[in-house]
Amino acid sequence: DAKTTQPTSMDCAEGRAANLPCNHSTISGNEYVYWYRQIHSQGPQYIIHGLKNNETNEMASLIITEDRKSSTLILPHATLRDTAVYYCIVAAGTYKYIFGTGTRLKVLA
């Protein structure tokens, strides 16, 4: 079973920040949090990952709570092209990913 829980779907207005939450209450100390997105049944696209510090790259920001039991992916200015299914995954020392059901984000014009 997946070690993460995400809302099934979310809407976001174009130009606004999209905040996608993920619960991973059973995360282990050496497990990283990874975020991927899948646009219309293409291969998943890597977005960002983190261990305990907040991370930012050109695509998104990742905020991890101090207890590491949850995280939030932030798309600062969502566009229509950000409409996708977003997956949060925790894994450590292995490439064995267990995908949950993800969050279907719809960006509205």
Number of other CB atoms surrounding residue 82 within 10 Å:
19
CA distance 72 to 65: 9
Q: Considering the rule CB under 8 A, would residue 87 count as an interface residue with other proteins? A: yes
Residue with Cβ nearer other proteins (44 or 82): 44
Number of other CB atoms surrounding residue 55 within 10 Å:
17
- Residues 15-54, interacting with other proteins (CB under 8 A): 32, 34, 36, 41-46, 49
Find out whether 6 and 103 touch, Cβ atoms under 8 Å: yes
Residue with Cβ nearer other proteins (67 or 96): 96
DSSP helix/strand/coil, 40: coil
> How many residues belong to the site for other proteins (CB under 8 A)?
24
Closest CA to 92 of 34, 53, 21: 34
Residue with Cβ nearer other proteins (56 or 97): 97
Residue with Cβ nearer other proteins (42 or 67): 42
Residues that bind other proteins (CB under 8 A): 2, 32, 34, 36, 41-46, 49, 87, 91-102
